[in-house]
Structure 1
Amino acid sequence: MEKSRGKPIRTRARALRHNQTEAEKELWRHLRRKLPLIGTHFRRQVGIGPYIADFASHGLKLVIELDGSQHGEDNHRLRDEARSRCLEARGYRVLRFWNAEVFCDIAGVVDTIHAAAETKTSAQPPA
């Protein structure tokens, strides 16, 4: 049974926003600076169903997850796959990046996110 997005999820999301990893801080700086130029809006640590996404744009139905080295382990990888399936079932596209990518190739990460955002906005009918 799916947990509702009640107070515990919101409380945990708020706590995570105040305790971001260095990779999350770095990507957030770039998301806030670059992506609003194309009309996208991302939020940090967003509750979606039973999960808290690192970053999400509800308008674009786009989730960005940053993974540390522990996510390469089998048990973490299986949980990440289940999480992605759940988010995709809710209509979200999930982009995953390694923390190392954020530090070594932030321009490439932002370009990938930008391309996904542009694809989503060009596919949406005009209002």
Structure 2
Amino acid sequence: MPSGIGQSTISRARRLRRGMSDGERKLWSELREFRRWYGVHVRRQAPIGPYVVDFVIHESGLVIEVDGEHHFTPSGLSRDRVRDDWLAAQGYKVLRFNTGELEASYNGCIEEILRELGLMRDTPTPNLSPQGEGGRG
């Protein structure tokens, strides 16, 4: 068993893997291909200390969370803040997407993850002419 992770956390992670939300399932269908496409290993419903995160890329210290409506209640927001602070203290950055964002701008969410991993630029690469940059003399 990994250090600092209790058996109840591991059991909870297993349960969560079996009961992923539609948004988590859709995102996982893309993230699980990151290893083949980019050499990036993504784990789903992974225990980190006392928490189970939706997705994590340990090598980059990136946690990706898909938030349903219960995250936007006062108690949900408070729990997430405590959890995010704890994860930050362990060296992780947390990206949060709500289910509405995933539905409205799925590709935008994927692009944000790729940017965070340094696999995508914020702006498109300019077209270069055969004469070199700018192409004007």
User: Which TM-score band applies after superposition, normalised by the shorter structure?
Assistant: 0.7 to 0.9
For residues 5-30 of structure 1, the C-alpha deviation after alignment (integer angstroms, 9 at most, x for no partner) is 12111111011101100000000011
Whether contact under 8 Å (2:13, 2:46) holds in the other structure is: yes
Structure 1 residue 41 displacement after superposition: 1.1
Is residue 52 from structure 1 mapped to residue 52 from structure 2 by the alignment? Answer: yes
Higher radius of gyration, 1 or 2? 2
**SS in structure 2 opposite 1:100?**
helix
Cα RMSD, aligned residues only: 1.2
**Amino acid of the structure 2 residue aligned with 1:115:** R
Which 5+ residue runs of structure 1 have no aligned equivalent?
A: 120-127
Secondary structure, aligned partner of 2:59 = coil
Of structures 1 and 2, the one scoring higher in RCO (CA 8 A, sep 6+) is 1
What residue in structure 2 maps to residue 27 of structure 1? 27
Q: In 2, distance between residues paired with 1:7 and 1:79?
A: 22
User: What residue is the counterpart of 1:117 in the other structure?
Assistant: 117
Aligned to 1:56, what secondary structure does the other structure show?
strand
Alignment TM-score, normalising by the size of structure 2:
0.80
Alpha-carbon distance between aligned partners in 1 of 2:107 and 2:57, rounded to the nearest angstrom: 19
Match of 1:123 in 2: none
Partner AA of 1:53 in structure 2: V
Question: Secondary structure at 2:44's aligned position in 1?
Answer: strand
The AA in structure 1 aligned to 2:97 is F
**In structure 2, C-alpha distance between the alignment counterparts of 1:15 and 1:46, rounded to whole Å:** 11
Deviation of the 1:81 alpha carbon: 0.5
4+ runs of 1 displaced by more than 6 Å?
none
1:96 is aligned to 96
Alignment of 1:1-80 (within 5 A): 4-33=4-33, 35-36=34-35, 37-80=37-80
User: Quick check: which one's helix share is greater?
Assistant: 1
- The amino acid of 2:93's aligned partner reads R
Q: What letter matches 2:65 in structure 1?
A: E
The alignment partner of 2:77 has SS state of: helix
Contact 2:41-2:57 within 8 A present in 1 as well = yes
- The aligned amino acid for 1:103 is E
Q: Does 1:84 align with 2:56?
A: no
Is the 2:6–2:50 Cα contact (8 Å) retained in structure 1? no
